[in-house]
Amino acid sequence: MSDIGLTHPRVQAWRHVARSPSLIVGALLLVAICALALGAPYVTHNDPLDMVGTPFTWPGADSAFPLGTDMMGRDMLSGIAYGARISIEIGVAAGVLATVVGLVVGAIAGFYGRFIDDLLMRLAEFFQTMPALLFTIVLVVVVHPSVSTIVLGVALTNWPQVARLVRAEALRVSRAEFVQAAVVIGMNRPRIVFTHVLPNVATSAIVMLSILAGNAILTEAVLSFLGLGDPNVMTWGSMIGSGREALQTAWYMTALPGCAVLVTVLSLNLIGNGLNDLANPHRRRTL
């Protein structure tokens, strides 16, 4: 009975996860960041945009402001906590959107092949040849600086990476016996794509999701640093941008949100590396 329990697929999966340090560390860091974002109203009672204290209060100088205040007297801890919400929202939304679009496009291109494959891959190459940051900046300036615009811009410049990866997997899956059997029995092609091809190529796209989410958070930070972020919300990038004017006298204003961005992106990259190890059969056998 005990041997059967040890060989259960779920038990084996948990054993592989436990042997992936990067996945565990990344998940713990991300859980801590999400807890900070969700518990922001309980961590601090100050609105991140309100001027509630004396400007240029250093961290530890006032117990009411553990992380100090910025040049306008806004609570740094409140900005870090509420900024985590916006960063996670943008990262998850942009990552999911880019992953879903790339997954569908890649699966269709790999399964149908020929003209459809050429058309979709040329479209992917068109988006890949454009400088991602420059395209996002132009989109944000032309439309309107907002969270949704940033999400759309990041997703449009990142879905081709997923599409090309999924296409390669779809080419392999389309030659599998179960797919050929579905064709023989007369199942229509769209149904084959969504019921047989997509489930078998989704793993590669899911691994990319964490990497794309990290890229989205970095892009938002850069846009906010340049003054192109949503002016109605507090973000880590806007905190870094506003603190650069006092970099020589109050470096903590840029260092604290910068560390928050670093830890968040690092956690997502660690999760991506861990998922890649689990998805790779050769690597998984060594875990």
Q: What confidence score (pLDDT) does residue 260 get?
A: 93
pLDDT band at 28 (very low <50, low <70, confident <90, very high): very high
Grouping H, G, I as helix, E, B as strand and the rest as coil, residue 130 is coil
pLDDT averaged over every residue in the chain = 84
pLDDT band at 2 (very low <50, low <70, confident <90, very high): very low
Contact criterion met (CB below 8 Å) for 110 and 169: yes
Q: What confidence score (pLDDT) does residue 150 get?
A: 87
Per residue in 198-234, pLDDT (tens digit) is: 888 888 788 888 888 988 888 888 888 888 888 888 8
How big is the CA angle at 152 (ends 149 and 156), to the nearest 5 degrees? 140
Per residue in 156-171, pLDDT (tens digit) is: 888 998 999 888 888 8
User: What span, in angstroms and rounded, lies between the C-alpha atoms of 58 and 251?
Assistant: 10
What structural domains does the chain harbor?
32-44+67-284 (1.10.3720.10)
Q: Which residues pair with 51 in a beta bridge?
A: 74
Per residue in 32-91, pLDDT (tens digit) is: 999 999 999 998 888 898 898 899 999 988 888 999 999 899 999 999 999 999 888 998
Grouping H, G, I as helix, E, B as strand and the rest as coil, residue 235 is coil
Which has the minimum average pLDDT: 18-22, 112-116, 215-219, 235-239?
Answer: 18-22
